[in-house]
Amino acid sequence: MGVIKALLRVYSYIFGGLLALFVFAISTMALANHIPPNFAFLPWSGPTLTYWLLGLSLFGLLTLLLAMGGKMRALFFLWNLGLFVLLFKGLFVSFYAFSGPISFQVAVRLTVGSLLAALGSVPWSRESRQVRKPQRY
């Protein structure tokens, strides 16, 4: 079980880091060109969307670095959980229409990947293991 937890944790770091960097790049390019991105499945639009994406990506990168350092893993979990909720609600619960089977498959993969990252970032309690049993005298 420990190996699966470790693999999921590494996956959550990689997935969260790449997604946060990607969103950071999109938002900075949108700010530099004064053209807001168009993500119809998100609850924001226009320049507000750009600032939300920038703030969320910076928050994600900060929580990722803290979690990798062993601190504030619960905050990284909350960021991953919020990301999953945002994707699931925006893509599947809202009235968002997919343009074809390819975009639907990408949305499913992104959402499932986000769910796995949220599961991998759960701050499991560490069990203290004794090196040896105390001897009775």
Domain ranges of the chain: 2-120
Residue 125 pLDDT? 67
Residue 123 pLDDT? 86
In sequence order, what DSSP letters do the residues of the chain get, joined into one string? -HHHHHHHHHHHHHHHHHHHHHHHHHHHHHHHHT-----TTSS--THHHHHHHHHHHHHHHHHHHHHHTTS-HHHHHHHHHHHHHHHHIIIIISS---SSHHHHHHHHHHHHHHHHHHHHT--PPPPP--SSPPPP-
As a whole number, the mean pLDDT across the chain is 90
Please write the tens of the pLDDT for every residue from 121-135.
998 766 656 666 767
Please write the tens of the pLDDT for every residue from 99-109.
888 789 999 99
